Copies of this chain bind each other. A is one copy, B any other.
């Protein structure tokens, strides 16, 4: 199949040779769009546009886009909505290929004049063959080309792409994901979707070799059929995670007020997820958990989990949570129980699944060094869930970090020898000391390819969705 013309044009969108900042800030040049791109390593031509400034961030400023000497691939509008039609006319005249309308104040306000203004801008762009990202959005983060809308995002490129109708959500989500070892190929915050919409971006990402996992935050879809087809196309080669916001009635009202989206009934979306095999999630945190699981956890052979951790009652709670998430917690084989009893000298410690680790942090590394392999060898078990309540040591264990890193080392080195996948839950709790220790241990475990979650609920939901995804993919 030859690449379509549309695919071509979006390819160019991520590789602009020149960018114009329309409404470049002369008051806060150090935090403006121009400075942001410069600092992030964008190496193409950068043209600030502002009729009342001569130089911004060391760059020559042009009064309008028409005055820029070379060609302009991409323009970012950082101007009030009322100036947008005129600036769009300039872009048409200049032959700009894509405009990112950072500018808000269009149809999402619900006001008639704003809707008219939006229609006017669309008409000018359409007639002049200019593509629009937005309005009311953050645009593109593509670290490989030095494009970003936040200085806080990692400059390291990765294999995940995120198509998002929320800008602030993307601002929260990317650092959240970065800090759990998830890096991005492309993030597109596209707001009101005046012109380019989710199906356009998904259609592009479906065949994008740099993208192995796709996540979406969607409020509404203008053309349901196109969206369905684009998601299906993606799912032929890679997983698609969708946070469909505005599922409830009030949520749909909020979405209308946010991006002028028609949200659609919850039942329709339920059917959509069943039909397509796309992975449904309800929060940005859940997107992160699912991506982490897709990246770090091999497909378990089934839903039977072996639970390991401190505390009998906590094991019972964990068991209920696993079952509620659609997992199974069968008893270990008698031979496994016999072996576990040998390494657990403490009376009152469960060994039948869940298996209970030692009371203090001090014996924990030793316990996992011995017991992990026993649970791994049990044919009743498909994967292992380890929960470590670091919060229990509450900043009162002076060598907590050292002890916890010992545990992390054991988990990291033992994991390599196991035949089954493993997930680790580290409860950070309410002390800065335990939080710091958890962050360090998590880094070590992520480096060893082990997924780490903040709660048992988060881990079990993500693993359950992973299994559901692979099961559905097998049927396709």
Contacts and interface: CB of A to CB of B under 8 A. Distances in A.
Interface in A7-48: none
A141 interface: no
A258 interface: yes
- Say what secondary structure dominates the interface of chain A: mixed
- Chain A residues touching B, range: 35 or more
Looking at A136, A172, A329, A346, which has the most chain B CB atoms within 10 Å of its CB?
A: A172
Contacts of A470: none
A405 interface: no
A97 interface: no
B247 A313 contact: no
A175 B391 contact: yes
Interface in A97-113: 103-105, 108-110
A316 B350 contact: no
A439 B436 CA distance: 13
A284 B352 CA distance: 23
A315 B259 CA distance: 12
Contacts of A152: 394, 396
A432 interface: yes
B243 A323 contact: no
A398 interface: no
A257 B340 CA distance: 14
Contacts of A324: 248
Contacts of A171: 311, 392
B396 A320 contact: no
B254 A172 contact: no
A333 to B, nearest CB: 15
Given A169-B317, A246-B316, A432 B436 contact: yes
A179 interface: yes
A348 interface: yes
Interface stretch (A228-236, A406-414, A423-431): A423-431
Contacts of A313: 164-169, 217, 219, 245, 258-259
Looking at A166, A171, A246, A310, which has the most chain B CB atoms within 10 Å of its CB?
A: A171
| 5 A-B pairs closest in CB distance | A166-B313, A104-B348, A168-B311, A105-B347, A248-B323
